[in-house]
Amino acid sequence: MANDASTVFDLVILGGGSGGYAAALRASQLGLDVALIEKNKVGGTCLHNGCIPTKALLHAGELADQARESAEFGVKASFDGIDMAGVHKYKDGVISGLYKGLQGLIASRKITYVEGEGRLSSATSVDVNGQRYEGRHILLATGSVPKSLPGLEIDGNRIISSDHALGLDRVPQSAIVLGGGVIGVEFASAWKSFGTDVTIVEGLPHLVPAEDEGSSKLLERAFRKRGIKFSLGSFFEKAEYTDNGVKVSLANGKEYEAEVLLVAIGRGPVSQGLGYEEAGVAMDRGFVLADEYCRTNVPTISAVGDLIPTLQLAHVGFAEGILVAERLAGLKTVPIDYDGVPRVTYCHPEVASVGLTEARAKEVYGADKVVSLKYNLAGNGRSKILKTAGEIKLVQVRDGAVVGVHMVGDRMGEQVGEAQLIYNWEALPAEVAQLIHAHPTQNEAMGEAHLALAGKPLHSHD
């Protein structure tokens, strides 16, 4: 294997998704010589098959709902249906613009970009396109792909993954969504807005089970109101083809039929056949194991993003990639507090949170040391104008800091920035209460909730 690189790179990165390209950009900014290897397109899952395209579909669905409901606001409008070719043109235009910008950014930083399928060939080298790229350090950032279950074959036609769902040329008349986590509820929400009859199947007791139970119950109530059906607490058993679609059978004996079955049970790491085990990298169920500084057990190899068992979020990948780049450049780095990472599910209504759930806070601090407060968005003027329902729930250590903020309602994802600051700065309710929040905004609800928790409620009852 020839090494055509004129020098040994400071950092060779395998994978150009969120974690990989963030590490490349920051490392080059800090003066390191970087090679970035990507088999498809820089930007990875988030830009091309995840965050960006799904949110574009959800926004198109939001516009469809607004057209249907315009009379409630005194606006005469008609809804004539969904033009999927037009939706895809809009979605792909968003992706294309961001992709071109990212390509330009990579080029401007003088990063050596290599397009091709790479493989780790040693603790200090990656082989791709018949060439060997040597690095003083290697960063593994090969991401993830949609998962399935044993015996459940994704055919791309009737039984589809989220990748297939993003490219459907039609609006399915009916759909079963297997999995009530973030991916499942987002697609269910978008399809319902497009006019699909949707049923979600979730084996755990609640939708978005990683969220606070109060948020899950509010979302379930909102989905019932929208006509999105769901089955909770019984696991998938089998799927069979019917004359016109798919039949799903559950362990409790219930059966559901639909035109398509979307398998949305999460994403698994891309690590097989890439030379990781041969190089001695410690693994667990396909994930690469790394410490709080994203270091593997091999001193010259780090790993970030969906490849390691941390939160599968693009902004987590960014943060991990930056952490690795700064550590290699000799800067002082601080481990990521994953509880302090903002989380948003972009369904209608949105679910957003940061910090500990109430149940988790009670485990950590003791049930008698935790208090919570719920502020209903019915008391918020801007939310009334938008006709959205929901609440902001605060979880506090008694007489101490706010350790969890949990929100349900349209546009709540835009409020999670302040929530992140409140959690990460260990703010007391009284400290947030003294800040003046603009009126009328939904952000004002954050201030009102803290006023109430501080014992001086304004637009809410004691």
Active-site positions read: 439
Please report the sign of the dihedral spanned by the C-alpha atoms of residue 20, residue 23, residue 29, residue 31.
Answer: negative
DSSP string, 19-65: HHHHHHHHHHHTT--EEEEESS-TTHHHHHHSHHHHHHHHHHHHHHH
Closest CA to 314 of 426, 182, 211: 182
Strands 287-288 and 159-160: unpaired
- Angle, CA 59 vertex, CA 55 and CA 63 arms, to 5°: 170
Question: What is the C-alpha end-to-end distance of the chain, expressed in Å?
Answer: 73
- Angle, CA 351 vertex, CA 349 and CA 356 arms, to 5°: 160
- CA dist 412 and 175 (Å) reads 27
What's the gap between Cα 376 and its chain centre? 26
- CA dist 17 and 51 (Å) reads 12
- Please report, for the chain, how many H helices and E strands are present, in that order: 13, 24
- CA dist 234 and 14 (Å) reads 39
CB of 269 closer than 8 Å to CB of 286: yes
Closest CA to 146 of 315, 288, 264: 264
Q: Is 386 exposed, middle or buried (0-12, 13-18, 19+ CB in 10 A)?
A: middle
- CA dist 181 and 443 (Å) reads 26
CA dist list (Å): 115 to 39, 110, 129, 145, 329: 5, 15, 8, 19, 25
